Chains A and B, each alone.
Chain A
C-alpha cells in the first residue's frame, strides 16, 4: 500500500512541487497520473523511491515509512519498486543484456537465474536482437523498452512508469500498456505517469490528475480532462 498524508515537497523556497497530497493506492491497483508539464508528477514518483525527500507530512510505501527511514534501508525500498524513469537512466557502458542483468545482480540473483530470465525479458520488450548493443546505439523507444525490461526484471511489488510510452509508436505503446496490465493482473501495483489521454481513455483505470502540486481529481475509469 502507498499512503500520502498531507505531503508537501519543495525543491527550494520558491518551488513547491507538491502541496498537500493525500492519497491512498492499494496493493494491486492500476493508477494513471496525468497533468500538465511541471505539475509535479515526476516529483511524486521521486518521493516514492526516496530520490527526493518530503518536506512535511507522512509517506508510507509498502510498509516503509519514508519520512523517518534510515538511509541504509533505501536500497531495500527501491528493490520493491520497479521504476521506468522518464530519462531512462541506463548504464551507457553496458550492453542491453548487461543493463538488465546488472539490475538482477544488484539484488543478489543467482547467475543461473539471470541467464534464464534476461532473455525472457528482452523477448518481452522485443529487443532480443539488440541484446549486445549499447544504449547509445539505440533509438529513444528502444532505450525506453530496455528501461522497462530492467524495471520489471526483479519482479517488484510496485511498478512505476514515468511516460513509458513517450518515445514509442502507437503499436509499441499499446503493447507496453498491455504488458503493464498483465503485470497488474499478477497482483502488482502499477502507476503510470502519462500525457497520452488517448491511452488513459482506452484503458479505463483509476486516474489522478495533478495540477500545480495538488490532486485536482481522482476518478475511476477514464476521464476527459480539459487542458
Chain B
C-alpha cells in the first residue's frame, strides 16, 4: 500500500517564518512587551505612592534622595529623606511583596484546583492566620522575633499549621486529591473562622485593633517586615515560577500531566508549599486582604492567555501594582484617617469579579 502524505515531510523544520511556531514566537514577544509595560507601571505607581501624603514628594525629589538623579544627597531635605526611607518606602515595598505574593499564590491555586473561584485563602490559610493573629492580640502577647511583633509571627505559624493539617486530612496513601484538599480546606477554614469570631466577640477594647487587622493594612510596616518577608517571597515565588510548565500541564488534568512525564504528586506538593508560603507571608505582613489573589490572575489571563510562564510574573507585577495603589488610596482618601486596604481592594475587586463572572464564556480557561 502506498503510504499517503509521505512527500509532505521533506521541508526542513524550523522556527522561522511559516513555521507553526512563528505565532508562538510572536506571542512570546508580545508577552515580553506586556511584562515590560507592567514593570514600568509598577515603578510609576510606586513613585506616585511614595509621593502622595501629608508631605508631597515630587518624583525628581524622590530620584534625588534615592541617589538615582544628578545632584543627589547634597540638596536632600533630611525630613523628606526620613519620610521616604522610614515611612513610605518600607510601606510601599511591603505592599509590593504582599500584592505580588497574593496574586502569584492565587494563580497557582486556580491552576492546581482547576477552579476559577480558588484564591490564596481557599485551603484555610487566612482563617489559620487570623486565629493566630487575633489570639496574639487578645492575649496581648508582646514578644519580638527577628524584629517582628507577636501578631505576624503567630499569624504566620498558625497559617502554616492550618495548611499542614488540611493537607494531612486530605491525604489518602501517597495521593492528595485536589478535590478533597479543597473540601478539607473549606471545612477547616470555616471551623477556624468560627473560632476567630469567638475571639473577636471577647476582644473587648481591643476590638478595633482586631477588626482592623482582619481587614488588612500596612500601617505597621517597617524594614524588618520587609527583611523577613523577602526570603519567603523569593522561595515561594521561585518554586512556583520553576513549576510554570507543570502548572500548564496540570491544566490538562493530572492524569494527562502524568502521561507527559510530570511527577504529579511531587509537583502538587511543591506548588502547594510555595503558594502557602507566599500566602502566609502576605497575611502575616498585611492581614487578610481579599480579592487581589482572586481577581488579578483572571484579569491577566484575559489579556495574556493561560500560559503560566507569562501568567505568574505578570500576575506578580499586576498584583504588586494594585496593592501599592490600593494602599496609597487607603491612607490618603480620608486622611488623616486610614482605611483598611482590604476595603479598597474589595470595593474595586467586587465589581471587577462580577464582570469576570458575567463574561466567563469568553474565559475558556475553565469549564
A and B part of one assembly: no
A positions within 8 Å CB-CB of B: none
